[in-house]
Amino acid sequence: MSKTTSDKSVVQLLVQQCIKKGIREVVISPGSRNAPLIIAFNAIENIECFTIVDERSAAFVALGMAQQLRRPVAIICTSGTAALNYAPAIAEAYYQEIPLVVLTADRPKEWVGQADGQTIDQSNIFSNYIKHSIDLPVKIAHDDDAWYANRSISEALNNTMHPVPAPVHINIPLREPLYGRTAAEKRVSRPIEQLIPEQTLSADQIQELATKWNKAESVMIVAGVLAPCEKMSQVLSHLGQLSNTVFLTETTTNQFCDNFITCIDRQIFSIDEDEAALFKPSLLISLGGQIVSKKIKEFLRNNPPKEHWHISQSDKVIDTFQRLSLSVKMDAYEFFSQVASHLKVETGRFKDIWQKRSLKNQALHEQFIEQTKWSDLKALNHIFTHLPEKSQLQLANSTPVRYAQLFQDDIKVHSFANRGTSGIDGSVSTAVGASINSENPTILITGDLSFMYDSNGLWNSYLKKNFKVIVINNGGGGIFRFIPGPSDSPELEQFFEAKHQYKAEHLAYTYGLDYFSASSLEELEDTYNNFVNNNTKASLLEVFTPGDINGKILRNYFKNFSNNR
């Protein structure tokens, strides 16, 4: 260590374990009870410490970092309600399978419930949304205390990545004084490593699965959220050549191939009840995280396959389509790569039927976009078709990620969204975190409510020159003008849509972003290139669209496919 560290021996053990387990980034929110943690982590040269004041934002920033790094990132807060502010990001990380190490400073247990300041019961506080939770001893007074701390910390950190990535919680009760320092380590940590055996299907298992696949008249692979992976793209592209197999993807699937069926909602809206049998699979195979499209879920529930295999290492039984027959507990790439060479389908019409419908709908899509008025749809068409090469796209909930599915054919960059819990609460912060370790431009597309809800995500010193925010400002929650129910409710504007006249301009100036705006297609075309190519500092483009007609235009967009069956 190049600096003096905390004199709390339990903190020293924790920090040493984190280093040996590969923690390299720590997001810290200021406080006093967490002072020993701040002192100890800041003393390590090969750990980078970030300061984010707002704990809710800090946790989402760390989530965005871990999303891109694909390894654990730690977050540190003080005691009391500070920890509760972590909850939204922890829940998102849990359901999105992103590794976070949550370190919460605490009062000693004897002071909980004794009317002491900034003290709440923090033991197992995230119980429903955490993979593993421990409380460390207040001090190491005996060798058994050190043994317990070593073992507990190792177990927690090992659980961040295996069998699936997830957040873990380490609660650290600390007594005053909190600011003591020492130049020497008092104890040496002893991390417990894990040996993870390779996953291999037996010859009999491969033969059985391949035989069913080969004999099936119609096989549909549906993928939700996936991390970018070139080798996964290669094996899935091979499967997409099979005549009895179609592969349906979404923007957040991050897999690209001409054989894949994209823009799922567009295809489903075009399928009449009388022809559903032509498009339904006899064998459904699913993988990845949450699926954005509600229509594909409805279609497969109403037109169930004979068999459904789900590929996941999660210990949960995931039966999204209510027809699960086989849960395969292994890595999806390993599964497909081991089975692929045994698939030999030479005849079949299933892929051809889907591809012909997809081509027809692509033409209808382009025709409708060309003729439509200025709206969310028109503005996003220009944005999605002019994304800079090698940029990464961050999509906020709730309408931006849905609109992106309509332009999937045009989006050729990796796309990410908080679809674990699908909340609007951390979109800006997640995008900031994702941009920190990326040399390529990060472009966040967000609605006005989502942006303003998480505007504290801009309250930090880590906004890079190539970080760009596009705010679609339609004066409220536009999705509620499209969803049946709220759109016809007299409470729409006040309670569902939360209609407003606020602008993002002053927030941009407050946080030091260059500001651009557009209120028409002509203005967007004139402004967009300047915004994208602006490299002086982080920038924000606010696009104003008419909120009262966006819902009607989107409904007409989908009617365009059902009317042209």
All structural domains of the chain with their residue ranges: 5-181, 203-354, 372-562
Distances 123 to 81, 130, 132 between C-alpha atoms, Å: 13, 12, 12
Q: Could you please state the CATH topology (level 3) that the domain comprising 203-354 is classified under.
A: Rossmann fold (3.40.50)
Q: What is the Cα 120 distance to its own chain's centre?
A: 30
Nearest Cα to 458, choosing from 469, 466, 447? 469
Please, are residues 478 and 447 in contact by the beta-carbon 8 Å criterion? Answer: yes
Backbone angles phi, psi at 287, to 5 degrees: -155, 170
Please, are residues 75 and 62 in contact by the beta-carbon 8 Å criterion? Answer: yes
pLDDT of 484 reads 63
Distances 418 to 75, 372, 441, 498, 553 between C-alpha atoms, Å: 18, 30, 19, 22, 26
DSSP 453: H
Side-chain half-sphere CA neighbours of 432 within 13 A: 30
d(C-alpha 399, C-alpha 485), whole Å? 17
Nearest Cα to 473, choosing from 382, 380, 404? 380
Which structure tokens are listed for 441? 């431009």
Please, are residues 210 and 310 in contact by the beta-carbon 8 Å criterion? Answer: no
Q: Could you please state the CATH topology (level 3) that the domain comprising 372-562 is classified under.
A: Rossmann fold (3.40.50)
In this structure, the chain runs to a length of 565
Which structure tokens are listed for 553? 């235009």
Q: How wide is the angle at C-alpha 267 spanned by C-alphas 261 and 273, nearest 5°?
A: 130
Q: Are strands 514-518 and 467-473 parallel, antiparallel or unpaired?
A: unpaired
Q: Are strands 467-473 and 539-544 parallel, antiparallel or unpaired?
A: parallel
DSSP string, 265-321: HHHHHT--GGGHHHHS-SEEEEESS----HHHHHHHHHS--SEEEEE---SS---TT
pLDDT of 347 reads 78
DSSP string, 190-230: -------PPP---HHHHHHHHHHHHH-S-EEEEE-S----H
Q: Are strands 5-6 and 181-182 parallel, antiparallel or unpaired?
A: antiparallel
Superfamily of domain 5-181: Thiamin diphosphate (ThDP)-binding fold, Pyr/PP domains (3.40.50.970)
d(C-alpha 515, C-alpha 55), whole Å? 27
pLDDT of 1 reads 42
The answer for 544, left when phi > 0, alpha when psi is -120 to 50, beta otherwise, is: beta
Three-state DSSP at 79 gives coil
Three-state DSSP at 446 gives strand
Side-chain half-sphere CA neighbours of 358 within 13 A: 22
Q: Is the peptide bond before 36 cis (omega within 30 degrees of 0)?
A: no
Nearest Cα to 186, choosing from 9, 390, 410? 9
pLDDT in single tens digits along all 565 residues of the chain: 457 999 999 999 999 999 999 999 999 999 999 999 999 999 999 899 999 999 999 999 999 999 999 999 999 999 999 999 999 999 999 999 999 999 999 999 999 889 888 999 999 999 999 999 999 999 999 999 999 999 999 999 999 999 899 999 999 999 999 999 998 665 667 788 888 888 899 999 999 999 999 999 999 999 999 999 999 999 988 888 899 999 999 999 999 988 899 999 999 999 999 999 999 999 999 999 999 999 999 999 999 999 999 999 998 999 999 999 999 999 999 999 999 999 987 778 999 999 999 999 999 999 999 999 999 999 999 999 999 999 999 999 989 999 999 999 999 999 999 999 999 999 999 999 999 999 999 999 999 999 999 999 999 999 999 999 999 999 876 565 556 665 666 665 554 566 778 899 999 999 999 999 999 999 999 999 999 999 999 999 999 999 889 989 999 999 999 887 7
Q: What is the Cα 458 distance to its own chain's centre?
A: 19
Backbone angles phi, psi at 454, to 5 degrees: -115, 30
Nearest Cα to 440, choosing from 414, 471, 407? 414
DSSP 372: P
